[in-house]
Structure 1
Amino acid sequence: MNGHSTLSSRERFLEVWPEVKKDIIESARLENLPSDALDWFEQSLEYNTPGGKLNRGTSVVDTLQILKGRELDPKEYHSAAILGWCVELLQAYFLVADDMMDHSVTRRGQPCWYRAPQVGNIAINDSFMLEASIYVLLKKHFRNHPAYVNLLELFHDTTYQTELGQLVDLLTAPEDSVDLSKFSLEKHHLIVIYKTSYYSFYLPVALAMRLNGMTSSSDPGMSPENSTTDLYKQAMDILLPLGEYFQVQDDYLDCYGDPQVIGKVGTDIVDNKCSWNINIALKFCDPDQRKTLEIN
Structure 2
Amino acid sequence: MATTRAQFEEVFTNVIVPDLIAEIKKTEISENAIQWLERNFLHNTLGGKYNRGMTVPDTYRLLAGKETLSLAEYKLSAILGWCTELLQAMFLVADDIMDSSKTRRGSPCWYLMEGVGTIAINDSFLLESAIYVLLKKYFKGTDYYIDLVELFHDVTWKTELGQLVDLLTSPENSIDLNRFNYDKYYFIVRYKTAFYSFYLPVALAMHQAGIATPDNLTRARDVLVPLGEYFQVQDDYLDCYGNPDYIGKIGTDIMDNKCGWLVNKALEIVTPEQRKLLEDNYGQKNAAAEKRVKDLYLELKLEDHYRRYEAESIAMVKGLIDGVDESQGLKRSVLEGFLNKIAGRDK
Kindly indicate whether residue 14 of structure 2 is the aligned counterpart of residue 16 of structure 1. no
Contact 1:52/1:108 (<8 A) preserved: yes
Please state how far the C-alpha of 1:215 moved relative to its aligned partner. Answer: 3.9
Contact 1:164/1:195 (<8 A) preserved: yes
Q: Deviations over 1:18-57 (max 9, x none)?
A: 1111111221121122111111111111111021010100
Please state how far the C-alpha of 1:182 moved relative to its aligned partner. Answer: 1.4
Q: Deviations over 1:153-197 (max 9, x none)?
A: 000000000001011111111333211111112211111100000
Please state how far the C-alpha of 1:257 moved relative to its aligned partner. Answer: 5.0
**SS of residue paired to 1:177:** coil
Structure 2's unaligned 5+ residue stretches are 282-347
Distance 1:17 1:27 in 2: 15
Partner of 1:279: 264
Correspondence for 2:27 among 27, 31, 55: 31
Counterpart mapping for 1:156-235 below 5 A: 156-217=153-214, 230-235=215-220
1:53–1:215 Cα change, 3 Å: closer
Contact 1:108/1:263 (<8 A) preserved: no
Relative contact order, CA 8 A, sep 6+: which one is greater?
Answer: 1
171-180 or 39-48, which moves further after superposition?
Answer: 171-180
Q: Which amino acid aligns with 2:92?
A: L
Q: Deviations over 1:244-278 (max 9, x none)?
A: 12212222344455666555554433332211221
TM-score between the two structures when normalised by the length of structure 1 = 0.89
Counterpart mapping for 1:1-296 below 5 A: 9-18=4-13, 19-70=15-66, 71-217=68-214, 230-257=215-242, 262=247, 266-296=251-281
Contact 2:52/2:81 (<8 A) preserved: yes
Partner of 1:227: none
CA RMSD of aligned residues (A): 1.8
Q: Which amino acid aligns with 1:194?
A: Y
Identity of aligned residues (%): 57
Please state how far the C-alpha of 1:145 moved relative to its aligned partner. Answer: 1.1
Distance 2:124 2:115 in 1: 16
1:262–1:127 Cα change, 3 Å: farther
Distance 2:60 2:53 in 1: 12
Distance 1:105 1:257 in 2: 22
Distance 1:11 1:210 in 2: 25
Distance 1:48 1:256 in 2: 29
Partner of 1:223: none
**SS of residue paired to 2:172:** coil
Count residues in correspondence.
279
Contact 1:193/1:244 (<8 A) preserved: yes
TM-score between the two structures when normalised by the length of structure 2 = 0.76
Distance 1:129 1:269 in 2: 33
1:134–1:261 Cα change, 3 Å: farther
